[in-house]
A and B are shown apart, each in its own frame.
Chain A
Amino acid sequence: MSLKHDIDFTLNGVRTRATVRVDMSALELLRDTLGLTGTKYGCGEGECGACTILVDGVSMNSCLMFAVDCHGRRLVTIEGLAADQAGKRAEALSAAFVEHGAVQCGFCTPGMMVQASHLLDKHPHADSEAIKRGIEGNICRCTGYKKIVDAIASVTD
């Protein structure tokens, strides 16, 4: 039985307490302990970006983050993105993904949306080259990326 530790953090704007195994990932905490399955498990090694969440306002791979390290931090997942500060943009982003056909199987979409939201927070005027660099840590095996880049580009300022 692995050591457990109590953590206290903010999840999608709600103060949350949990008891976690010290060797478990933030992704396991979200999906298995808290039941928020919007964040996806893809590769488990930080290569695919399907598990991307916002931690204190910046994007990270939740599969590489230790759950104990969530203590005292502010997490936003795909479920909370619309309610976060960037809510308006998240809504526009989700409409743009639909409009541009940027969703096929949909597995990469939550991570892609969270990363796109972070990218646009930092670079509201990002051009398509900057968007491609911004999502280089997110793998999509369906779309060939063009529709995703077009969708993100359509909501830049």
Chain B
Amino acid sequence: MTEIEHYAAPVTLDEAVECLQQVGEVTILAGGTDLMPQQRSGRLKPQRTLMNIRGMTELRGVSQSGGEIHIGALTTITELLEDPLVREHLPALIEACDHFASDQIRNAATIGGNICNASPAGDTLVPLLALDAQVELVSKPDGALFRRSMPIAEFFVGPGKTRRAPVELLAGVSIPVPPKDHFGRFFKFGTRPALDISTISIGLCGVLEGGVLSKVRVAFGAVAATPVRAFRTEAALEGRALTAATIAAAAAAARDEVTPIDDVRATAWYRKELIHNMTKRILDHVAQA
């Protein structure tokens, strides 16, 4: 086991990325709710430097500018739940935050931590995919801050693996302000309401205007090595009237396009059935709303 040799607690973005650039092998601590159990169980090997970024107030909070909602990486799940911008514009994210772990964990856990932990079942990831979120990464390669962003769908590589380079820090996510008549839903199946890792989860966003669907985004959690967009399910919905036939076709497309595995939480067969039935249920609710 690697011993931690250095502890850093930067308070500015500049200090944090400077540390990443200089030191290289860094474990980043934000809320700690995933890091602590992963380190305890040996699932995650500690790096030589532990960098606690929780004191970086500039990465905390929600703001709106240029048609986008920006969420700082250190915003806690509780802060998202209570934020007026998120409550007004991002109902799918609110539902996911509401079903996130427990009050104690929501008070500590950050959205950036949830994203970088890159669990296939991560609760906020599925709505973020369905909301076309972009992740913002910051580094300091040659003495100046360098920012790049990418669609969150491209960020996840596998369980616990992302495209974040070791010298980069996730600064936050940006989400286009959804248009009028936007709807957003999130559904998570677990064996109990609180503190459960999803057996499957579904994020479904779009615009329903005059009974016709557009800008449809569907994402699923816990059916692949990363949370995934469901392009064939989206195609079965895009531009169509939200009728019983459309709903049946979309639910069938959803079942056909996911490729889950058997594990301790459910069999692949059961996950496919859940994806079918719950996609149908969500669309039925949207149609009835």
A residues sitting closer than 8 Å to B (CB atoms) are 1-3, 5, 22-23, 25, 44-47, 49, 52, 55, 58-61, 63-66, 68-69, 71-72, 115, 118-119, 133-134, 136-138
Say whether B105 contacts A61, CB under 8 Å: yes
Which residues of A lie under 8 Å from residue B101 when comparing CB positions? Answer: 46, 137
Cβ contacts under 8 Å, A133 to chain B: 103
Other A-B contacts than A64-B37, A64-B108, 15 sampled, CB-CB below 8 A, are A1-B3, A3-B5, A23-B50, A44-B40, A46-B102, A59-B104, A64-B33, A66-B36, A68-B9, A68-B50, A72-B55, A115-B104, A136-B103, A136-B193, A137-B105
Interface string of B178-200 (1 = CB under 8 A from A): 00000000000000011100000
Q: Is the CB of A60 within 8 A of B107?
A: yes
The verdict on A69 contacting B29 (CB below 8 Å), with A3-B5, A63-B36 known, is yes
> Judging by beta carbons under 8 Å apart, are A47 and B195 in contact?
yes
- Set of chain B residues within 8 Å of A65, measured between Cβ atoms: 32, 36, 108
Of the A-B pairs whose beta carbons lie under 8 Å apart in the complex, a sample of 19, sorted by A's number, is: A3-B7, A23-B46, A23-B50, A44-B37, A46-B195, A59-B103, A59-B107, A61-B108, A64-B33, A64-B108, A65-B32, A66-B32, A66-B35, A68-B9, A69-B29, A115-B103, A136-B103, A137-B105, A137-B195
Contact between chains at B102 and A136 (CB < 8 Å): yes
Interface pair A68/B103, CB less than 8 Å apart: no
Give me the 9 closest cross-chain CB pairs, A-B, nearest first: A137-B102, A136-B194, A58-B107, A137-B104, A64-B33, A61-B104, A60-B108, A64-B36, A45-B37
Contacts of A68 in B (CB 8 A): 7, 9, 50, 52
| In the complex, chain B residues 36-73 whose Cβ is within 8 Å of any chain A Cβ | 36-37, 39-40, 46, 50, 52, 54-55
Distance in angstroms from A142 CB to nearest chain B CB is 18
Instruction: Give the CA-CA distance A65 to B4 in the complex, in Å.
Output: 17
B163 at the interface (CB under 8 A from A): no
Query: How far, in whole Å, are A90 and B62 apart by their CA atoms in the complex?
Result: 33
A71 to chain B, nearest CB (A): 7
* Set A2, A46, A66, A71: member contacting B104, Cβ < 8 A: A46
B residues in contact with A58, CB < 8 Å:
78, 107
Closest Cβ–Cβ distance, residue A140 to chain B (whole Å): 13
Cβ–Cβ < 8 Å partners of B105 in chain A: 46, 61, 64, 137
Is the CB of B6 closer than 8 A to any CB of chain A? yes
Which residues of chain A come closer than 8 Å to B102, judged between CB atoms? 46, 49, 136-138
Closest chain B residue to A3, Cβ basis:
B4
A60 to B109, CA, bound (A): 10
Residues in A with CB closer than 8 Å to B104 are 46, 49, 52, 59-61, 115, 137
* Complex CA–CA separation, A25 to B33 (angstroms): 11
**CB distance B50 to A22 under 8 Å?**
yes
Q: Which residues of chain B are within 8 angstroms of A55 by Cβ–Cβ distance?
A: 107-108
Q: How far is the CA of A119 from the CA of B102 in the complex (A)?
A: 12
Q: Which residues of chain B are near A64, meaning CB under 8 Å? A: 31-33, 36-37, 105, 108
In the complex, A31→B35 CA distance in Å? 21
Inter-chain CA distance A61–B107, complex, in Å, is 9
Q: In the complex the two chains form, is A2's CB within 8 Å of B29's CB?
A: no
A55 to B103: give the CA distance in the assembly, Å.
Answer: 13
* Least CB separation from A48: chain B residue: B195
Across-interface contacts of A137 in B (CB, < 8 A) = 101-105, 194-195
